[in-house]
Amino acid sequence: MQKHNEQSRHPQRPGGLTPGLGVIPCCFFNPRRFHNYLLRRSLIERYETMLKAKKVRHKAIMKLLIKIAMLSQKGAALEDRKAHS
């Protein structure tokens, strides 16, 4: 069995690299289950700042995560508009 390195187990440690996918709540990608707009916004901002600070192990994955998050946010906004009209 493969031994985990410290970095993969402690994504919040200062100077750590990419947070593992497990750190991101599943509902982050599901607009129907994720109603807290501010939390989603702060996650997107955190990942964008990590990209800029070059503290990211897998840049392509992080860019995809940001895109998915933005799209899910737009989807949630559309759902809200439909519900109110």
Q: How far is CA 20 from CA 26, 32, 81, in A?
A: 12, 23, 33
CB 31 within 8 A of CB 68: no
With 50 as the cut, is the pLDDT of residue 31 above it? yes
Instruction: Please indicate, yes or no, whether the overall pTM of this predicted structure exceeds 0.75.
Output: no
Distance CA 33, CA 64 (A): 20
CB 20 within 8 A of CB 8: yes
Which residue blocks in 17-58 are alpha helix, DSSP H? 37-52
Structure tokens at 57: 């192990």
pLDDT tens digits for range 39-85: 667 777 777 777 677 665 666 766 777 777 777 777 777 777 787 77
Domain boundaries, the chain: 24-84
